[in-house]
Structure 1
Amino acid sequence: MIKKILLNIYLWTMFFIVTIISLILFPFFVLFFILRGKNFESSVRLSICFYGWILVKIVPFFCPVKVYYKTEKIPEPCVFVANHCSSIDPYLFGALMIDGAFVSTWPFKIPVYGFFMRLAKYINANDGWNVMLEKAKRLLSMGSNLIIWPEGHRSRTGKLGVFKKGAFAISVETGYPIVPVCILGSGKFMPPGKFFVNPSKVSLIVLEPVYPECDSDKLIAIKKLRKKVFENLKNCIEENSNY
């Protein structure tokens, strides 16, 4: 119990300190990436990613988030699809240090987060399918990756829920591959609906990309792609059930 209390005091204190410092230094982060040849939108997304990287790789120095790759190379741009078990999951993508745009809903309602999500041109899933697809096409054509939670909500059991078709329809419509990302341990670290964290290891496993069959019927291609990605993630979770 004492270990858990100390862990929470440390992590939450560091979270607020890092967040405040990052807000102050954010313009300089953006300028740094612009000077390295990135456009403004990409620089904002990379700056947000760097903030996440600090939170998951530097702050928990005693047990940083680990990333394992089952693929030799990520075919960027792509559509990242991940299982969703905790509110910390979005931060975990900071460990990949990629130019990624989230497709989400509720974070847009949070004052500070919403501002930066709009600034980074993240996609609000509440805008409707046609708007979402056009924004997705634009981002992918500019070299940005998409990050989507196909379940649409956090799992309370750690098991995969039903996948919505949005991510897979985007992949079929654009021809860009799906890269499944298996998140392990986040649900134990911070369970859904809980504020306090528990001592637990957290890892990401980046799986082999899955390419859409763009030459077949779109509806059939979407179903095949969704089934294949679901099976790959499900198998990875089951193989690491003791994590």
Structure 2
Amino acid sequence: MKSEKIVMATKIKQYMLNAYYWLMFVIVTLVFFIILPLFIFISIAFLKRKLDSALRRGIVVYGWILVTIVPFFAPVEVDSRAEKLPFPAIIVANHSSAVDPFLFGTLLIDAGFIATWPFKIPVYGMLMRLAGYVSANDGWEKVCRKSVSVLESGASLIIWPEGHRSRDGRLGRFRNGAFTLAVKTGFPILPVCIIGSGEFLPPGRRLMVPNRIKLVLLDPLYPDVRANQEEEIIKLRKKAKAVIQKALEESTKPMAIIPVMNSLEEVKNVNSCRKCF
């Protein structure tokens, strides 16, 4: 009976945390859209930025607010393991959750995305196009042309080399797009390992589970533009996947702050472990 009450209390706490977060998410989003025109006006009129750059920076601030002022139940940690971070860069990261794009707000850098499904969302998709974000459905030539334009404007470009979210948390096959772009343009690859977001909100789940989330910034990879292009693309792809995989393997310890137990059996297991201490 006591164990059942623990499960019920944990579930209630989870629902309350989710209700709080979504309420704050709606409030922050509404405020963002209200002040966005003023932010863009100041950026263009006084800071001499172009519309796409001003809008990207506004979206970055929006993401930063969501992951710091309205945290995902725990602060998002940034672990930079690189001696020097080159910007602009082509940022490649593993992808396990719908919250992953927001996490890059913690870096506070001018950056665009190559994505697919967000362009289908009314209003949001329009903002993405105005911000210079690149739709992966536009065809390679158009994607390449837009990507080069973003990079040459001084903004970084964030790409999910797996092409979609991982369903089981394991690293999937990396595609060549980001690495082809690096070899053709000479811009460096910055591998980023996202840890914990898959447990926080994995694909198919509606309720968020309190969990620590970390962004690990790894050593940049510089393409050799004089080498054989096909060989260099494969080399960069394999190296980027290897360093991200290594960072994932190094984070094997559970990172959850508040354990959410979904069954009576899990509660019994926890109680039996406590008796051992």
C-alpha distance in structure 1 between counterparts of 2:51 and 2:223, whole Å:
30
Which of the residues 112, 135, 146 maps onto 1:135? Answer: 146
Note if contact 2:74-2:210 (Cα within 8 Å) is conserved in structure 1.
Answer: no
Give how far 1:39 is off. 2.2
Q: CA RMSD in A?
A: 1.2
Aligned residue pairs total 243
Runs of 4+ aligned structure 1 residues displaced above 6 Å come to: none
Q: Specify the alignment match of 1:202 in structure 2.
A: 213
Deviates more, 1:198-207 or 1:34-43: 34-43
- CA pair 10-229 structure 1, distance change in 2 beyond 3 A: same
Which of the residues 126, 129, 145 maps onto 1:115? Answer: 126
TM-score by length of 1: 0.97
Letter in 2 for 1:16: V
Give how far 1:62 is off. 5.7
Q: Specify the alignment match of 2:110 in structure 1.
A: 99
Deviates more, 1:232-241 or 1:68-77: 68-77
Give how far 1:156 is off. 1.3
C-alpha distance in structure 2 between counterparts of 1:72 and 1:5, whole Å:
42
Letter in 1 for 2:13: K
Which of the residues 39, 58, 75 maps onto 2:50? Answer: 39
Q: Structure 1: where are the runs of 5+ without partners?
A: none
Q: Specify the alignment match of 1:13 in structure 2.
A: 23
Letter in 2 for 1:225: L
Note if contact 1:58-1:64 (Cα within 8 Å) is conserved in structure 2.
Answer: no
Give how far 1:239 is off. 0.5
Query: Does 1:169 find its partner at 2:195?
Result: no
Give how far 1:139 is off. 1.1
Note if contact 1:33-1:46 (Cα within 8 Å) is conserved in structure 2.
Answer: no
C-alpha distance in structure 1 between counterparts of 2:199 and 2:73, whole Å:
17
Letter in 2 for 1:25: I
Structure 2 SS opposite 1:77 = coil
- CA pair 240-32 structure 1, distance change in 2 beyond 3 A: farther
Letter in 2 for 1:2: I
Identity %: 50
C-alpha distance in structure 2 between counterparts of 1:91 and 1:240, whole Å:
21
Note if contact 2:72-2:210 (Cα within 8 Å) is conserved in structure 1.
Answer: no
Give how far 1:38 is off. 2.6
TM-score by length of 2: 0.85
Q: Specify the alignment match of 2:75 in structure 1.
A: 64
CA radius of gyration, larger in: 2
